[in-house]
Amino acid sequence: MTHQDLISQIPAIDRLAADIETMAAFTDPEHPFTRRPFTAFFKQGRQWLREQMAASGLAIELDAAGNLIGRRPGQEDLPPILIGSHTDTVAGGGRFDGVIGVLAGLEIVRCLDELSILLRHPLEIVDFLAEEPTDFGVSTVGSRGMSGNLTAEMLAQTDGRGVTLAEALLDLGGRPADIAAEARLPGDIAAYLEMHIEQGPVLHQRAIPLAAVTGIVGIRRFSVVVEGEANHAGTTPMSLRKDALVAAARFVIDAESIIRAEENAVGTVGYLKVVPNMANVVPGRVELIVEMRSIEPETIDGIGQELQHRAREIAQARGIAISVSRLTDAAPVQADPRLIEIATQACRETAPGALVLPSGAGHDATQIATIAPVGMIFVPSRGGKSHTPKEWTDVADIALGVQALARALLKADVVF
């Protein structure tokens, strides 16, 4: 009997379901399923995950960028294959986004041991640090660090308390001073695989449980600061006001129009800070973040140029200052053609009729793609919902995803 024949025994569904529920408990009781990076809830989840990795015989490492890694040896002296995702969530997030990708890797390790399957390559299961946007204005922190894309400027950025990202990493056990030296280089990773919820409606609407991913949208974020003049809301005539919030509102509305005009783009202003934020004071300063996404890099560039132009027009018309600076930038990523084929075969062997889709959300695979071949598998999101406590994926669909991921892993172990 071949290894592929044994894959039908993966995963142990009850064990996988119990792991998902256990991790979901490491969250803020007042905000169910919220587990922000660097918080006590995140550290508790990490500790439990570390214990599960150790119990599965994995060699545990916390690398310089704060990634939790469990390593299983292989038969040959080869670069490792990585399976990874993240266990942090957005505020008001759900129990599946990211988490099931890490737990899928853990479950595959257990099943490989139970089936006495030893791969040619070493296998690393990775919980990447802070994939979601952080209070420091940086996302995919851990995968950026592993791939050499976490800059000194990013590490110096502060949160609302004045704490730097570097300081937060130190508190978690990372070593920011060593990140650049320890970053992995092209050739250090044989292949990277990630299983994730779709975070969109296609699989659910079509009642199909699996999809192979062709590529991942690029994401660019701009920090926009509008400087007006704070003044008394009762005594300052309308004609003499330099209201930063009104100018910011104009910019937000125009940004939406600019992005709507592009067929293959989406964009959001989801963060807004008003100073002094008082009912009887004309706002003097507004900070906001514009995020845009597209699979086409030229579309992202064009939108960025239009936003800069519109900011200058609004500033001139209202006699205020608006600065627009690039905060983060992740280029669109195409999955490795070999891994697209492998993932497609694995999905269709597991569930006939599986689709091939692009990803409209960003993932740690975006960063790892700068140094290694990447491939992804999607499982459905009920109603297309994600980043909400209403996020849901049936455990039966997750189990199919784990089985397809295991098939892809065995195929990649031969090809790479």
The residues near 27 (Cβ < 8 Å, ≥ 6 apart) are 33, 34, 35, 41, 89
pLDDT at position 8: 78
Domain containing residue 288: CATH number = 3.30.70.360
Q: What would the two tokens of residue 274 be? A: 């008003």
Q: Which of 330, 354, 381 is the last residue of a domain?
A: 330
Task: For tokens 């979601």, name the residue.
Answer: 132
Q: Which of 311, 330, 349 is the last residue of a domain?
A: 330
Q: Which of 304, 330, 356 is the last residue of a domain?
A: 330
Give the Cα separation of 407 and 409 in Å (integer): 5
pLDDT at position 2: 65
pLDDT at position 5: 67
Q: What would the two tokens of residue 289 be? A: 């973040």
Shared-domain flag, residues 350 and 246: no
Q: Specify the number of domains making up the chain.
A: 2
Give the Cα separation of 149 and 141 in Å (integer): 9
pLDDT at position 11: 84
Shared-domain flag, residues 97 and 246: no
Shared-domain flag, residues 262 and 344: no
Domain that holds residue 347: 3-217+332-415
CB 248 within 8 A of CB 271: no
Shared-domain flag, residues 235 and 87: no
Shared-domain flag, residues 243 and 369: no
Shared-domain flag, residues 16 and 111: yes
pLDDT at position 264: 86
Shared-domain flag, residues 143 and 287: no
285 alpha-carbon distance from chain centroid: 30
Q: pTM for this one? A: 0.83
Shared-domain flag, residues 207 and 346: yes
Shared-domain flag, residues 298 and 361: no
Provide the terminal-to-terminal Cα distance of the chain, rounded to the nearest Å: 23
Shared-domain flag, residues 181 and 270: no
Give the Cα separation of 137 and 287 in Å (integer): 12
Shared-domain flag, residues 336 and 382: yes
Shared-domain flag, residues 324 and 224: yes
Q: What is the mean pLDDT of each run of 10 residues along the chain (416 residues)?
A: 70 94 92 94 97 98 98 98 97 95 98 95 98 93 97 94 96 97 98 97 96 92 96 96 98 97 93 96 97 92 96 97 91 93 97 92 93 98 94 96 97 97
Interstrand relation of 191-197 and 374-379 (parallel, antiparallel or unpaired) = parallel
Domain containing residue 194: CATH number = 3.40.630.10
HEC per residue, the chain:
CCHHHHHHHCCCHHHHHHHHHHHHCCCCCCCCCCCCCCCHHHHHHHHHHHHHHHHCCCEEEECCCCCEEEEECCCCCCCCEEEEEECCCCCCCCCCCCHHHHHHHHHHHHHHHHCCCCCCCCEEEEEECCCCCCCCCCCCHHHHHHCCCCCHHHHHCECCCCCEHHHHHHHHCCCHHHHHHHCCCCCCCCEEEEEEECCCCHHHHHCCCCEEEEEECEEEEEEEEEECECEECCCCCHHHCECHHHHHHHHHHHHHHHHHCCCCEEEEEEEEEEECCCCCEECCEEEEEEEEEECCHHHHHHHHHHHHHHHHHHHHHHCCEEEEEEEEEECCEECCHHHHHHHHHHHHHHCCCCEEEEECCCCHHHHHCCCCCEEEEEECCHHHCCCCCCCCCCHHHHHHHHHHHHHHHHHHHHHC
